[in-house]
Every structure is written in structure tokens, then in C-alpha cells.
Structure 1
Amino acid sequence: MSVLFDVPAAPVVKTTDGKAFPVRRVFCIGRNYAAHAREMGRDPDAEPPFFFTKWAETVVPSGSEIAYPGETENFHYEAELVVAIGKGGRRIAVEDAASHIYGHAIGLDMTRRDLQLVAREKGRPWDTGKNVEQSSPIGLIHPIAETGELTSGAIRLAVNDTVKQDADLAELIWSVNEVIAYVSRFYRLEPGDLIYTGTPAGVGAVVPGDRIVVTIAGLSDCVVTIGPPAED
């Protein structure tokens, strides 16, 4: 049987121990910092966090220039701690979750905010706002043996050297282990899965030419530049 067209290779994220982490799926946690939930017009005490998915092909490495996407006039940054899954499992207990982690990285969940909000108001899926080409930049993955479990530490984002997001991982509503346990109730997590754990308050728009730098204590920075719209 002949194949009709070439199948693209899975995106690969470099690790600090010189290995390559092939990306299988991307899960993103929404409204996992109370202050961000409030800035988005939601009550974190009444509405718990949740998750949505993105294509693996949205993942691009730190240092990339990402094209300003079409059909938006409000392209937002969201700084995130990313968890890389190294061992599969379903209905993982919170106390066992850390054993399924390969490592941690810094990521961005770039968002067409105007399209997301229109979809939210109409009760429709967020795909056009969130599942966007090049919208999941990621830095180097640090193995958990190097970092340990990350339960606290500064997370900051700057645009053109001006700090826009400044919080602490301790402010996560659902901890990393709770996130892993929750997502694994609905899907069997597999090696190669990435979980973007949510963004702090301070999200905002960028334009072509802007340079974004995200830092988390103990991890390699994630840096991207916003480029001009992609040409077809």
C-alpha cells in the first residue's frame, strides 16, 4: 500500500541532558491562577480550572520568530510552566503523579484573544483562538532529576524588557501533581505529552517586532520574537 503524502515528523524538544523529547500531544490548563481568572472576568472560587488541547505541531523551540497569525487584531502572550510526561498512565493518583514526569520547561500559550472571547461568549470551542500555528513555544526541558518537583518559584514575562507578568508557581490553583491526576482521568497520558499548566495575571497583546522573554527560577528561558504575518 502506497502512502499518499509524507507524514510530518513529530516536533522534538531539546533537553538539558542532550536528548530529544518527541511531542505527542499538548494539554493546556485554563484559569489556573486566581488573579488571571479574575482579569478574564471569571470567579476562581465558583469556576475551577479546566483543560483544552492543541496540536503537537503548534510547538516551536525557544529562539524562534513566530508569525503574527491571521484573523486577529489582539494576539496575546501567556507565560506557563510546562510539564513533560515521561511515563504513561490513566487515573494517576496525585501522590504518584511526580513519577510520571520526565521534566519541566518554560512555555508560551500564544492566543488570538479576540477570537477566543467571541467563541466563549457564544459557548463554542476555543480552537480558533488557541490552536494556532506556532502558538506553543517552549524552552529546553530540564529532567526532574535536575529540578526536583516544582511547587514554587518566580515566573515572569517581559516584552521588550518591560515586565508584564510576575507571579509565583505557588499561586497555581491546581498544583502540577493535581493537574496530572485530573487530565489522566479523561485521557491516558503517554510519554511525549506536554501539559501547559496555566498563566498568571498580566496577559496582553503583542505586535510584530516585539521580543518576549519568559523566565522561571531554575529553568532555561523561553524567548520568541513576533514576526510579520505569514505569507501563503
Structure 2
Amino acid sequence: MLLTTLITRPLAVALLLAARPASMAQDAPAPKVELPAPARGGGMPLMQALEGRRSTRGFADRALPAEVLSNLLWAADGVNRPATGGRTAPSSYAKYPVDVYVVLPRGLYRYDPPGHRLVAVAGGDHRAEAGTEPHERVAPLNLVYVADLGRVGETPAPASREDWLSWSAIEAGCIAQNVNLYCASEGLGAVVRVSVPQGEFRKAAGLRADQVILLGQSVGHPASR
């Protein structure tokens, strides 16, 4: 029986956000974790969030609430136009090749925007495979943006692999900035980085040859708070 059938969704996500003892580090996470519905109202005015946006490289070892994770992922790349499947971040030809991998102390997941849920990739704490600096391994949430070039398919105009890599990098940058602005609005810290150990993360996430790691981003409560 899945974990999410036994307890409420916010509690299920909260348990996944929390670190587990080393003896339980390799327990398999629930195959799919339904996130709470995102809160689409409120927040800081845009200009104030822009003024507050900055990079944070010191994080408190404190889990993010389930509702915060839900809101953050929806802000990052969630579906904001259900009728068309459009998202909060733009994508060339609406192909959406960039996947957001969610690295929590409890497991490694992929965010599924249409279902607004986490899809399990691997159990255990993989923060060491998601970043090279000590602060990245303390942050309760690490995001890794991966371009899946295997699903771009046909486009109205000819497009090369280099084109799609460039367009995917732009898409990932837009997603990361959405996260930055959400974090500024909510008093959280975040930093965008290229320090993702390519070989280690590829192995942990089981990436194929046509999946390309673009960026990493660490998120959490600033260490001073």
C-alpha cells in the first residue's frame, strides 16, 4: 500500500522532506507523491521580490513544509493554463524538454507538472550527488534541471541538437528565476549553480545519453534565520 494512501498528503510530503537515520537511508520512496494543491494567491509584490532576489550560500538544516514545496514547484514550472497545458515558464514550441529533478534528504524525485506530483527516481539521500559544495549538501532541497532531448520530436522549423540545448538552457534559466522570485517572496534562500557532479548525478538519476544536465539550484531557510 502506498504511503500516500495511509496518511494525508501534506503529512506524506513532510515525511519525505525530513531526513531519516542512516540505517534507513536506502529505503525506497513512495512511487508517486501527490503534492498539496498550490496556493496561487498572495505573496510579495513582484517589484519587492525582484528587489529581494539574491544568492544564498548558507542554509539551515531545516526541512521545508509540504505546502512550501508544492508552491515552489508550481511556481517553478507548474501548469497555469490547464486548458492548454501551458506552464509558468516558457518553452520553445511548447515542447517542455526540461525536467526538474527534486533532491530531498529522503529521496530523489522528478516533478510531474501535469499531475503536480513527485515521481520517485531513487531512495536515499543524494544531495552529495546533486552538488559539490558543503552548503549544497545541507540545503533541504536541491533542484537539478535536465534537458530530455529524446522527447522534443518534430518542430515546424528544422532544429539541431545544439539548438535544443540552447533553448533548453534558456528554459531552465526561466524556471530557476521563477524559483528565485518565489524564494525572495517567502523569505527563503536560493542559489543557482553549475556545480552538479555530472557522472555521479547521472548514475543516481539513471539518466540516458540524450538527457543533459543543465543547472542545479539549492533552496532552504537561510542559515542566519
For normalisation by structure 1, the TM-score amounts to: 0.25
